[in-house]
Amino acid sequence: MSALRHHGNLSHTEISSFTGLASGTVSAITAELEKSRLILRTEQQSAQGRGRPRVLFTPNAACAYLAVVIISSDAIQYSLADYNGKLIDRFSERRQETQRGDFVAAINTGLARLASRSRITHEAIRHLSISSKGLVDPAGGRLVWSPVLGDEQVDFHDDLAEVWQNRVAVNNETLLVAEALWMRQQTKPDSLLTGGKGMLAALSLGHSIGLGIARSTASGFEVVAPNFGHMLHMPGAALCRCGSRGCIEAYCGFYAILRTAFEVPPDTIPAKFVPLAELDKIASNARHGNRMAAFAFRQAGLALGNGLARLFSLHDHMPVFVTGPGTRYYDLLQGGILEGLLQSQAVRFGGLPAIHVELNEPELVFEGHMGLALSRMDEDMVSAGMTTPPSAQAG
Ligand SMILES: [Zn+2]
């Protein structure tokens, strides 16, 4: 299915060469997928008009839909994609809810709007893929701690179950970024992950700090999102948004940079949200020689460098891809990051890691959603051996 989505219409021989599957296996699989109407067969007359027509397979785009919900500090973005992985509709709604109940109600309303705008029923949306920053329990479908709702947990399986049943998946946003980066590396000729082995980290900089790790396993690969932003940087020190003291985020989250730049005491309760324009102003001051502003970014870089060094001490070196809105200040953070890395023995002896700046985080997040959700949908739909009955489509 992913070969068909990636390359478009494919013939039997092409499927075999793209997937490495034997011809007989391809026949068995395409026959089964065709029977359950997950793929469609088209016949193409050869250019000369002679001989047998070429048979091509393509995913049955309208047989099921996928909704993606991306929760961020100030907005919720809703996207609808078809079974071919093609984006059909997208809109964002500003978010003000601070109560769990209102928050869940807002998502339900947003999803209903998504379905009605494309004139499809709830049942036609076979999978709902949700992401947020913070601590997520993917197996339980729960948001355990989020910058948006704090300690108020959201159980998406329970809360959206009535309408969406067992088709809800919740993931940490930076985990999805790591997943997308991993998939991109697989198709690169100059891949950083040689010989199908390796590990990479995605580090997301913004109001909060996220880390995702993708690594190879015996059966393929896995992605995890360790609680990097709230790992201890300095015991008993600056107050973090999570309520603890001395977390990495309490030094390099946007609110922390703001706090240092304006010389506000580090035990001041963090601002709920800092507009980018505010950070841009501090960055501009730093670039024009303001010492306190420059120090705020250097201190943030130092916390990130120390944190990454600890990660390498435990897991060995891996390439790091820096993403998120904070990448626009990378020139100001870089010095502190290098300094923080070099303070550790792991880096002094093991060398500096490869660090890449990836500017388009939203694209990576969506790619990660699609990668995980479509393969889960494939499994669900093949095991169910059926597609949405035609009656589920309203028009
Ligand atoms: Zn914290």
Ligand 1 centre distance from Cα of residue 86 (Å)? 37
CA of 362 to the centre of ligand 1 (A): 24
pLDDT digits (tens, 9 = 90+) for 44-56: 877 776 778 889 9
Using 50, 70 and 90 to split pLDDT, how confident is the model at 197?
A: low
Residue with tokens 């359950």: 36
> How much distance in Å is there from the Cα of 217 to the middle of ligand 1?
30
Q: Does the pLDDT at position 393 exceed 50?
A: no
Beta 54-59 vs 10-11: how paired, if at all? antiparallel
Render 90-154 in DSSP notation, one character per residue.
EEEEE----SHHHHHHHHHHHHHHHHHHTT--GGGEEEEEEEESSEEETTTTEEEEBTTTBT--E
Q: How many angstroms separate the alpha carbon of residue 121 from the centre of ligand 1? A: 41
Q: How far is the CA of 388 from the centre of ligand 1 (A)?
A: 44
pLDDT at 252 over 80: yes
What separation in Å is there between the alpha carbon of 231 and the centre of ligand 1?
A: 7
Range 183-208 average pLDDT: 81
Higher pLDDT, 320 or 164: 320
pLDDT at residue 156 is higher than 80? yes
Distance 153 CA to ligand 1 centre (A): 16
Ligand 1 centre distance from Cα of residue 68 (Å): 27
- Residue 242 alpha carbon to ligand 1 centre in Å: 4
Residue 349 has pLDDT above 70, yes or no: yes
What band does 234 get if pLDDT is binned at 50, 70 and 90?
very high
Cα-based torsion angle of the residue sequence 143, 147, 151, 152 in order, rounded to the nearest 10 degrees: -60
319 pLDDT more than 60: yes
Residue range 304-324: mean pLDDT, rounded: 94
| Residue 202 Cα to ligand 1 middle (Å) | 19
Distance in Å, CA 364 to ligand 1 centroid: 25
Q: What domains does the chain contain, in order, with CATH numbers?
A: 2-59 (1.10.10.10), 63-175+362-385 (3.30.420.40), 193-353 (3.30.420.40)
**Distance from residue 363's CA to the centre of ligand 1 (Å):** 27
Average pLDDT, the chain: 88
User: In the predicted model, what is the mean pLDDT of residues 119-126?
Assistant: 89
Q: Is residue 394's pLDDT more than 50?
A: no
> Helices (H) and strands (E) in the chain — how many of each?
14, 16
Q: How far apart are the CA of 240 and the centre of ligand 1, in A?
A: 5
Alpha-carbon torsion (154, 156, 161, 164), positive or negative: positive
Mean pLDDT of 179-208: 83
Those residues whose C-beta lies under 8 Å from the C-beta of residue 207, and which sit 6 or more positions away, are 73, 147, 253, 254, 255, 273, 274
Q: Please tell me the least confidently modeled range out of 160-174, 276-290, 315-329, 352-366.
A: 160-174
- pLDDT at res. 391: 42
Residue 388 banded pLDDT, cuts 50, 70, 90 = very low
pLDDT digits (tens, 9 = 90+) for 351-372: 999 999 999 999 999 999 999 9
What's the CA-to-centroid distance between 250 and ligand 1, angstroms?
Answer: 7
**Ligand 1 centroid distance, CA of 254 (Å):** 13
Query: Which CA distances in Å does 127 have to 44, 68, 111, 139, 372?
Result: 33, 9, 12, 15, 11
Centre of ligand 1 from the C-alpha of residue 253, in Å:
10
Strand, helix or coil at 304?
helix
Q: Is the pLDDT of residue 395 over 90?
A: no
Give the Å distance between the CA of 225 and the centre of ligand 1: 15
- Ligand 1 centroid from CA 302, angstroms: 17
Token pair for 110: 């947003």
Q: Which residues lie near ion ligand 1 (Cβ < 5 Å)?
A: 230, 240, 242, 244, 247
Q: Measured between alpha carbons, how far is 319 from 179 in angstroms, rounded to an integer?
A: 14
Distance 249 CA to ligand 1 centre (A): 6
Percent of the chain with pLDDT over 70: 94
Backbone phi, psi, residue 303, to 5°: -65, -40
